Structures are given as C-alpha cells and as structure tokens.
Structure 1
Amino acid sequence: MARYTGPKTKIARKFGESIFGDDKSFEKRNYPPGQHGNNRRRGKKSEYAVQLMEKQKAKYTYGILEKQFRNMFSKANRSTGITGEILLQLCESRLDNVTYRLGIAPTRSGARQLVSHKHITVNGQLVNIPSYQIKPNDVVSIREKSKSLNVVQESLSNNKSVNEWMTWNSEKMQGTFVKVPERSQIPEKINEQFIVELYSK
C-alpha cells in the first residue's frame, strides 16, 4: 500500500509543529520549507486552504491515506454525536495508534510495522491489520515470541506517557483499551471542525 516515505521534517515544518514526535531537525528550522526560508512573504490563507491543511495534518499524524480517511469520515458522519469528535476517536481506536499509545513502539509508523509483521495480538488472536478498530475492553498484547525484540524493549523503557483511557500491565506486557477517549483527552492539536467543514462542501 502507498505510504508517504519522504522526509518527515519537511512535512512537520509545513504544519509548523512536530507531528511525528521528537525531531531535532524541526527544532532547528521550525519555519515552513521553501527556497527563501523564513524570509518568504506568505499571504493570508483562504478558508479552503486552512481546512485542507487541517485535513492533511490529521492524515499525516495518524498515517492514513485519503480513501481510508474519507471512509472514516463517512462512518463518523453516519454515527450519532459530534462528527469531528467521532472522527478523531476512530483514528485513536486504530490498532496501530493504540500500539503506539501503549508505548510498544516509539512512533505510529513503527507501530504499523509491528502490527503488519504479526507481532501484536488482540484478545489473544494475531491481528496484522493496522486499521483494525479496537473496542472498549479489548486487550492488546505483544506476541510471546516478540517480547524480547530490542525495538519493543527500548520503546517500553523510554515510554513516559500516561493515557487515561488505557491501562498497561508491564509484567504481562499487555494493555487494555478501557474506553474510547473523549476529545479533551486526545492530545493532538487538530481542529476537527475544519475537516468537517471541508468534507461537507
């Protein structure tokens, strides 16, 4: 499947924030990319440009392609509740994102790779689909043979994040997706209302 494999710092600079995690290159040049760098005159963005930028930011943040993202929006739009909030909740409930949030992988792309390479189980069953939707009380574990992987061990030892909607059992090396997070609990700086307005045109 097609994925963005280009320089991530360039994308982070485009949005003005480190959407892929810690990035020393972004910290050095935290202004938009371009030939004239920070001195370039940048006109006021149109309403459409702002909305499109927010959608692109969400897609790059969660590593989702356009067709998948549009399908998720359609699902959120059909659900009862606030469409934008449900859209972000669907993004947060993806198996690759849950794997990342639990600290099993240092990045979402790393988490996606672990899932694709059959290192992760859900409720004891091997699942290798990154977009698999995790439900409340589902248990996400590291496959027994994969618990000794260096990348997993390093990620877990460096993980300092605490997510209120999940619990982690370090002895069993498994986490429970207790409930779908509320919008106030999701730390991503995404204005979901702009995305709703864009798709509603």
Structure 2
Amino acid sequence: MTEKCAIERRSYPPGQHGQGRQRTTDYSVQLREKQKLRRIYGLQERQFRGVFQRAERRTGVTGEILLSLLESRLDNVVYRLGFAVSRKQARQLVGHGHVSVNGRKVDIPSQVLKTGDVIEVRPGSREITTVLSALDAVDSRGVPAWLELDRTAFRGTVKATPTKQDAAVPVNEQLVVELYSR
C-alpha cells in the first residue's frame, strides 16, 4: 500500500465517532466466525444453515462434523484436488458440467462426496486453460492427505473422510455452533 492509503494512516474507522470505544460482544465474535466460514466456502446463509442442521443431526462433535461436511462438498473437493484455483472457480466448473463423479456427469456443486468416490474432469473439458493452469499450480498448494490425485488422467479419489485438521481453516467452529444454539 502507499502512504496515501487511509487505512495505513489511521487504524480507526472514519467519521466523528471513529475513535470511540470498540465493544465486542460474544454475539459479534460468534457472528464474525460464522461469516468467515461462510465466505471461505462461498455459501449463502440458507445453504450454510442447511449444512449446519445436517451436522447437528449427526452424532458426534457438531463443529467437527460441520467442517467435515463443508470439506466433503464437490466444489471444495474439485478445488482441493487442484482442478481450479479457487472455490468459486471450482463451483463454476461443476455447475457447467465439466466434472463427473463415479463416471456420471454432475452439475450440483453442493453434492457431498463419500469415501471411494472418483472425481474427474470430463474428457471434452481437459483442454480448458483454467484447468490446465490450476493443475500446474497444485504443486505449490499441495493435495490434502484425504484425497489422491492422478494428474495424467485428470482424476482424483476420496480416500477418507476429512477431519478438522484436514480443513485447515482459521475458524473457531465451536463459536459457530454456539451462535446457532442461541
């Protein structure tokens, strides 16, 4: 940033009351964590609430199940395998029908994958420049241990169910659970 940048010059919000006391309530901290998680995975509120309700119905730690469900979504797996440079791009690839799961064309980004599912870029879509450039960049980002990538065949396999450690997102999921438990 340059020296003219307002954020660099002043670390407080603009206006008459910008330097006033900043109060952070428990609710605001919880809401910020939820919004952060929503934005990371690119979900609308209604979609996110549906994923949370599914996680809540399962037995176990709700926060960890929530992260596992979010990581298991098809758009996220396409991103993690390196077929796209962002989750948004992965969502678009899936939505436009460039991806198949277990040999069947799928265009629903929210599909939750299970262990053993095979994800591949369809043969007609393997020449797309965004897919090729994303696969070249996958070495720097790496592929998670719960996924297996075969670059030459444009294919990936889900080896295991993702855990909280596999998600590696800077979010306290327990605060999200507390927010929805109000």
What is residue 173 of structure 2 aligned with on the other side? Answer: 192
Q: Does 2:32 correspond to 1:53?
A: yes
TM-score with structure 1 length normalisation?
A: 0.81
Distance 1:37 1:137 in 2: 52
Counterpart code for 1:115: V
CA-based RMSD of the aligned residues comes to 1.7
SS of residue in 2 equivalent to 1:118: coil
> What one-letter code is carried by the residue in structure 2 that aligns with 1:175?
G
Contact 2:143 2:149 in 1 (8 A): no
The two structures have a TM-score, normalised by structure 2, of 0.89
Larger mean Cα displacement after TM superposition, 46-55 or 177-186: 177-186
Deviations 1:124-155 (A, max 9, x none): 00000010111111000000000011000000
1:113 and 2:92 are equivalent in the alignment = yes
1:159 match: secondary structure: helix
SS in 1 for 2:171: coil
- Structure 2 spans left out of the alignment, 5+ residues: 14-18
Q: 1:69 aligns with which of 41, 48, 58?
A: 48
- The secondary structure found in structure 2 opposite 1:39 is coil
Q: Distance in 1 between matches of 2:150 and 2:80?
A: 14
Q: 1:124: which partner in 2? A: 103
Give SS of 1:189's match: coil
* 2:145 aligned with 1:164: yes
What is the aligned length?
A: 170
| Corresponding letter in the other structure for 1:192 | E
Any stretches of 5+ residues in structure 1 without a counterpart?
Answer: 1-27
Following the alignment from structure 2 to structure 1, what is the Cα–Cα distance between the partners of residues 163 and 108? 24
Q: Is 2:154 the counterpart of 1:173?
A: yes
Deviation, 1:171, is 1.7
Match of 1:38 in 2: 11
Matching residue of 1:83: 62
- C-alpha distance in 2, partners of 1:125/1:82? 33
Task: Say whether the 8 Å CA contact 2:97–2:107 is kept in structure 1.
Answer: yes
Which aligned runs of 4 or more in structure 1 are off by greater than 4 angstroms? none
Which SS does the other structure have where 1:67 is aligned? helix
Shift of 1:159: 1.0
**Matches of 1:111 and 1:134, distance apart in 2:** 15
CA distance in 1, matches of 2:10, 2:50: 36
Question: 1:78 and 1:132 mapped to 2: Cα distance?
Answer: 18
> Whole-Å Cα distance in 1 between the matches of residues 67 and 23 of structure 2?
27
The separation in 1 between residues aligned to 2:26 and 2:136, in whole angstroms, is 43
Query: Is the 2:82–2:143 Cα contact (8 Å) retained in structure 1?
Result: no
Q: Tell me which of 132, 142, 145 is aligned to 2:124.
A: 145
